[in-house]
Amino acid sequence: MFTESAELYDLIYSSIRNYGAEAEHIAALLRAANPRCHSILDVACGTGEHARLLAEKFGYDVDGSDLSPDFVRIARTKHPAGRFTVADMAELRLERQYDAILCLGSSIGYLRDLAAVKQAFDCFRAQLRADGVVIVEPWFPPDHLESGYRSTRTVDTPTVRVVREQSTEIIDRVSRLRFDYTIETQGQRRYVSELHELGLFTVAELLETFAAAGFDAHYDAQGLNGRGLYVAKIAA
Q: Give the predicted TM-score (pTM) of the model.
A: 0.94
User: In this structure, what are the phi and psi dihedrals at residue 49, rounded to the nearest 5 degrees?
Assistant: -70, -45
Distance of alpha carbon 110 from alpha carbon 196, whole angstroms: 8
Mean pLDDT of 5-9: 71
Full set of structural domains in the chain with CATH: 6-141+202-234 (3.40.50.150), 150-199 (2.20.25.110)
The mean pLDDT value for 197-216 works out to 98
Q: What is the mean pLDDT of residues 201-217?
A: 98
- Rounded average pLDDT over 101-114: 97
- Check whether 4 has a pLDDT greater than 60: no
User: For 43-82, how does the pLDDT look when each residue is reduced to its tens digit (9 = 90+)?
Assistant: 999 999 999 999 999 999 999 999 999 999 999 999 999 9
Question: Residue 7: is its pLDDT beyond 80?
Answer: no
Query: How does the average pLDDT of the chain come out, rounded?
Result: 94
Q: What are the strands of the beta sheet with 188-199, ordered from one edge?
A: 150-156, 161-171, 174-185, 188-199
Pairing of strands 61-66, 39-43: parallel
Nearest to 54 by CA among 83, 27, 85, 16: 27
Span 116-143, pLDDT tens digits: 999 999 999 999 999 999 999 999 999 8
Q: Which residues contact 119 (CB under 8 A, 6 or more apart)?
A: 90, 91, 111
Please answer whether residues 181 and 163 qualify as being in contact, where contact means their C-beta atoms are separated by less than 8 angstroms.
yes
